[in-house]
Amino acid sequence: MEIKVHTTINKPVSEVWEVMGNQFGHAHLWSSNFQTSKPGGEAKFEGIDYSHRDTTTPGSFWEECLGIQRQWSP
């Protein structure tokens, strides 16, 4: 499976970096795809004090996108 998405952001680079770079660890604040987002790990880039983020998404978001049907059997 191959999925490609192209997005044009009509903003100055400094504004895009503020969100995509400096606020990347807290994506739940600016992206409706995430319920929570928590930065972690050792710093690897100058000006960013983390190297990864842990996020939670609503189950129905990916299930809907990928056509997944969840089964539950207690």
60: closest CA among 31, 38, 33, 25? 33
Residue 19 tokens, joined: 């969100």
CA angle 23/24/26 to nearest 5° reads 70
pLDDT in tens, 35-73: 888 888 888 878 788 888 888 877 665 566 666 555 554
The pLDDT, as a whole number, for residue 65 is: 67
pLDDT at 17 over 50: yes
pLDDT of residue 74: 44
Instruction: Break the chain down into helix, strand, coil percent, rounded to 5.
Output: 30, 15, 50
Reported pTM: 0.52
